[in-house]
Amino acid sequence: MSRPKKKRGFRPIVVGDQRFRWRFRAGYDNSFMEISAEDTHGQKLIVTLLNWRDPWLNLAGFELIPNSIQFYTSVQNNPPVITSKFVRQAILFALSEGWQPNKKASAPLKIWYQDDKFSLLAEQVVSVPINPDSSMFRFKRGQLLLDFAYEPKGDTSMPAQDEIYQKHADKYDLLVMREDYQENILAALRTIHPLQNAEVVEFGAGTGRMTGIVAPYVKSILATDISEHMLAVADEKLTPQYPHLRLAVADNRQMPIKTASADITIAGWSFGHATVWYQDRWREEISQAVAEMKRVLRPGGVAIILETLGTGRETPNPPTDILADYYNWMENEQRFSHTWIRTDYQFESPEEADFLVRFFFGNDFADAVMKDKRVTLPECTGIWWLTV
């Protein structure tokens, strides 16, 4: 039998009928010792990270096979814990060893691969029980674990807004689904116009955050967005639940919808982007969109616009001067009525909060507002409406 080929510090060892390469090394944050074993065919990699500060209370590991990764943990006297930091370490190690998941590996950990970045979501991930009492650790279904490139290099700032809407719909949806955990939006909409039996057209629906709020109560809803990438997420999560929902790719300024065909037109956090993308002519751009909202409405219908009045704030204040001008324009020139509500975020964990806030709002904002490992984040939202 030929001797196994050595690989980057691994030493050959035989366990029963299986031949492995193995190695020890200090790892990552200088508190873990790494014990690695790989079979000679490269089909399996088993890694154990031992916390040498308290080795019998924290033993965790993972096993790699082609296109999947399995985590396990063993502890004594404490509940098993696998942290997002540990998952990150595991994946980084796997990548360094040449392990490559498919673009959409499904089991036991769902991994999306796009633009050299990995996004991980737990999909009923269960650890392998290795401790005597066979206790097991289970991730909450849908819990965000982490998102990362191999290692941050160069500019690690948040993606541009247009890049988010064209490439990062899944992560964006995770963020907005944590918004308004007190359900103030629905209550506010009901005070403006009855939802029961209403026919609704939504402008700039994105991944369907507002769509999902109103869809259970209305007669029909047509949700539109200029980004097919964003609408694909809305389609996957909402269309099976709501047969009266239709989705269409459309520009807010030129809606392919019949005149006087809706009772409510609504745009959530959509028109305000024009103040960034068209700084010199935002009035003209938003005027076209508002005109389309009015055109689509039947007499007595209502146009409703929601925009930010500050994330990380407990009292309302437009985040930028140009947004303040936009809001004043709606109130004074377009004659919209207005109010504001709190739409605070509630995240599953401090780690999830930190990741999602950094992803969308940027590192500087996250450093300022997420220092205390909070799971809630205050936010104020303005609501403007006009009856035609």
DSSP character for 193? S
d(CA 20, CA 38) in angstroms, rounded, equals 5
Our count of domains for the chain comes to 2
More confident residue, 131 or 214: 214
Q: Are residues 246 and 151 in the same domain?
A: no
Instruction: Using a pLDDT cut of 70, give the percent of the chain over it.
Output: 58
Q: Give the tens place of pLDDT for each residue, 285-314.
A: 999 999 999 999 999 999 999 999 999 999
254: containing domain: 173-387
pLDDT band at 62 (very low <50, low <70, confident <90, very high): low
Q: Is the pLDDT score of 254 beyond 60? A: yes
Q: What backbone phi and psi angles, to 5 degrees, belong to 70?
A: -120, 130
Can you list the alpha helix ranges (DSSP code H) found in the chain? 84-96, 161-167, 169-176, 184-192, 209-214, 228-238, 274-277, 282-296, 321-332, 350-361, 363-369
pLDDT of residue 94: 52
Domain assignment present for residue 235? The answer is yes
End residue of a domain, out of 126, 156, 186: 156
Q: Which of 47-56, 204-213, 315-324 has the lowest mean pLDDT?
A: 47-56
The answer on 274 and 202 residing in a single domain is yes
61 and 25 housed in the same domain? yes
How does DSSP classify residue 100?
-
Indicate if 199 and 108 belong to the same structural domain.
Answer: no
Same domain, 120 and 230: no
Dist CA 245 CA 154 (whole Å):
43
**Position 168 in a domain:** no
Q: What pLDDT shows up at residue 160?
A: 66
The predicted pLDDT at position 352 comes to 81
The pLDDT value given to residue 313: 93
Given a cut of 70, whether residue 242 has pLDDT beyond it is: yes
Q: Does some domain include residue 164?
A: no
192/115: higher pLDDT: 192
Asked if residue 254 and residue 199 are part of one domain, the reply reads yes
Tens digits of residue pLDDT in 84-135: 445 555 555 555 555 444 433 333 333 333 333 334 444 333 333 222 333 3
Q: Reply yes or no on whether the pLDDT at 208 is more than 80.
A: yes
Give the pLDDT confidence of 267-293 residue by residue, as tens digits. 999 999 999 989 999 999 999 999 999
What is the reported pLDDT for 297?
98
Q: Are residues 152 and 177 in the same domain?
A: no
Read off the pLDDT band of 363 (50, 70, 90): confident
pLDDT band at 138 (very low <50, low <70, confident <90, very high): very low
Q: Decide if 5 is inside a domain.
A: no
Higher pLDDT, 139 or 300: 300
In a domain, 165, yes or no: no
| Dist CA 208 CA 137 (whole Å) | 32
The predicted pLDDT at position 63 comes to: 52
Question: Can you give the pLDDT at residue 161?
Answer: 66
Residue 238 has pLDDT above 50, yes or no: yes
pLDDT on residue 348: 82
Q: Are residues 251 and 383 in the same domain?
A: yes
pLDDT of residue 271: 97
- Asked whether residue 350 carries a pLDDT value surpassing 80, the answer given is yes
Let me know whether 305 and 374 are in one domain: yes
For residue 39, pLDDT beyond 70: no
For residue 282, what pLDDT is reported? 97
Q: Where residue 236 sits, what CATH number does that domain have? A: 3.40.50.150
Q: Does residue 294 sit within a domain?
A: yes
> pTM for this structure?
0.63
Q: Quick one: 88 and 151 in the same domain?
A: yes
Kindly state whether residue 332 falls inside one of the protein's structural domains. Answer: yes
Same domain, 217 and 344: yes
What secondary structure does DSSP assign to 123-171, as a single string?
A: SS-BPEE-STT----BPPTT-EEEEE-SS--S--PPPPHHHHHHH-HHH
Q: Are 369 and 378 spatial neighbours (Cβ–Cβ below 8 Å)?
A: no
**Residue 249 sits in the same domain as residue 332:** yes
Query: What value does the mean pLDDT of the chain take?
Result: 72
- Residue 192 within any structural domain of the chain: yes
